[in-house]
Structure 1
Amino acid sequence: MMSFDSKRLDESVSDAIIMLKTPLCGALVDGDKPQFNRGDVIAGKYEVEKILGSGLIGTTYLVRNKKSRKFLSVKVIWPQLVKSDRDRARLKDLFAEAKAIEGASLIKLGSVAETAEATFFTEEYFPSQSLRELIDEYQAESKSFTLQEACQIVMKVLEAAEILHKAGAFHRNLKPENILISTRRTGPGGRNLVRTIKVSDGLLSDLVNPTIFAESYVSRSDAKYLAPEMTGFDDIGSPSTDIYSVGVMLYELLVGQPPRGTYLSPTQLRGDLPDHIDDVVEIALGETPEERYPSARDMIVDIQRSFTDEGTTAPRGPDVKTLAIGVAIGIALLGALGLYFMVREPPTNDLSAAAQDNVIRRQVQARHRVLTEGEIQKMIESHPEMQYIPEGPFVMGRLHQETPKTATSNEPLAEEHELPSFYIDRFEHPNVQKGPDGSAPKPTVKVTWAQSESACKAQGKRLCTEEEWEKACKGPDNFVYAYGDTFDSTLCGDGKDNDYRIGSYENCISGYGVFGMSAGAREWTSTGKGSAGRRVVKGGMKANHQRGSRCAFAMDESGGYSDASLSFRCCLSAESVPRAEGEEAKPTEK
């Protein structure tokens, strides 16, 4: 049994009755009429096609621009929210703030305008259904969301929330009605579901006076998605506020209804779920912010463990083969559903720098072919001790938005590099998690470049190139560090661990499932640098670990040099993996 706070739903019944009489409660109330109807023209240029819906902020219309003939959405703000000059100024400020935060999973905003008849703003029209409509559709057909479906949807919402959080903003009103989903079927017989997901109304809930917002929630069905500390809605929120809302949605997707009171865990209601998903739900729905995941990324990582640790009762250290399958299939599924998503550092003063990074990451992600499950299985069987890195482009070099604190100006700027497919050892040499005595071994160190090359050749492999090493480290999302864009010493250490052992940091894993690339020892590569005999060394600089554990960081050493911090791992060129019979390649959603 798990505890869920429902007391706040019983507050102020009289206020609830009052709010039921206002449009702020959501849908139009009996007797009310929409401000605009089909054929009406808003501001002289937006012809109304139909009403898309009504919510806390206002009514949304599908319109066509009379000049360009393009479809847009227009959200007409409830008049009581913009009665005064101060209210309207607040709208413009919030709109500008929201528009500056961009991401493929956020609805793109257009412009805000005032006319004698209405105050409104435009946004992209995303042909879709809401998550609420999808849930209702499944229930009407007596269908259940699979674990993969539920987690894929939730992880995409978390990635959108992470974009807001990294900009110092919080949604505060995440619920199925604000999650928009476009679904299409691909492959033989339409057996593959491809879902593109976008989150709407980010930041714009701040338009509503906190008192009105809190009172309106008392009687609303979506109050269940509101974190306990937000009952008064005078709190500005935090990442854990949105994480709570996502936790409620995950529970609802898995068991068919939101949690109420003392609720049963998902595995008590469904026998086909791994035990670890109970932990995910319980942490996300913690009573206080401190009990929940500290970030959206933390919750994403823990959700992924539900696929790598299936059947266990608690999180444990990664098993190499299980992780190989889990990570590889996870990459394929996420890519097929358009879940490769750029995660940025908090915006710097130079917005154009972040925009440049956004563009190149998006272009690279869109061009990466995603393997089918059959291809992945063949890859794992070929070299179970290695991780397969698919052919295609990646972003090499420091990002434009990286600051002098972490990257020097003489480091090459981000560029798109194309690489053929290859395999890379999961760990530093000797590439095992356990030694003969059952303990975690230390990486092989105090080796010269020639000794490293010879050791790889003895295994029928070779040293990795600088480009291969960096791509494997950055993962499909092209992160700054193996684990994300923000330095976190709790994930990969602070560089001061003198007793570092292979796999010491179980969460120090790149998006491709390669361990220790932002931790532990420095590593030789086969790439020459400058004068003859010098070779590029990647990772692990201890003097400034925040800088030196970045995937793009590189230095060079003489080939005859060795020390206690210098190790290596091996790579292997890969032929294109033959597809399993009847399978089609799944392109990444653009």
Structure 2
Amino acid sequence: MIRSTLAAGMIALAGFTAPAAAQTTLQQANAVLFQQLEQVHRLSSAQMDRVQKIFARSGFMGQGNPKITRHPMTPEQCRARSPSSGYDNARNTRICGDKYMAPLYDPRIENASDARACIDQFEFPNIPCTYPVVWVKAKEAAEVCAAVGKRLCDAHEWEGACAGALEPPDYPFGAGSVAAMRSIHNGKYAASASWAYGPAFQRGICAQNSTKSASCGGGGYNSCGSNTYPTGAFPGCVSKLGVYDQHGNAAEHMNLPMAPDQMSSRGSTKLGVTEMKGSWFIWDKYRAHPDWCRWRAPYWHGTRVMSTASHENYHLGFRCCKTIK
């Protein structure tokens, strides 16, 4: 396995210069990340100021602790196997209003132009062949999405993106609890369980063959490296709607509404509770839980999305959605 430090594999686009590995701090690494965000997504000064303040308040958000993170692949190696030009879809950019987004719709009955929302093709920063941002609370994920003109996805949107067809919202609000809602939902979809790449789980398809840091016990920032792959490094790990890395790499914060007025897709900003979607970077070695597309997780580390106590860790990131109609 080829290993690299965070700094050695920092750059996803030509023209940026990574800080020297021995001198890299989280702040230096994030400075490069901010340059990428501003240039690729054409963010305004005001948007960048909001994003940088959210990161600064956290003190941990970034692509991993540079002192112990060891990525198994560099951005250069990623680009060699997955040229980023292949992701720049002019039709999707026109529909979604930003690069590297995919329209959310049901191809069985709709066209892409019928989509009312779009989802990031890649984990944030939503730039191919960059490392996912982790150590982010659900509240911070929602705030960053808002800062860049998007929003946190509802659970059913992420699931539809993965399964290749956006279906109507299916939240059994009358069930009364997260556990009861989860049981009803999972029972509905268990017989048709599928993965973004097909009807059965496979190893070697997604960014799931990395290794936890030897020092990683309780999950702390100073002991667990975010040993992720560059986003989009596995071209076969893609859904029929063109969304990547929903299995492997980083798990992802999403919004699970507990009432109709908590649905991000309907314009709510107060949101529901946290839902952690997808698997993460060790899955080829150890499957800690199911991860099929429409599977909803137990209420792990559960809080309201906008709680300051929402969960963060070394393999937990996010991606954003955007309402377009």
Report the TM-score, using the length of structure 1 for normalisation: 0.28
Comparing both structures, which one devotes a greater share of its residues to strand? 1
Larger RCO: Structure 1 or Structure 2 (Cα < 8 Å, ≥ 6 residues apart)?
2
Larger radius of gyration: 1
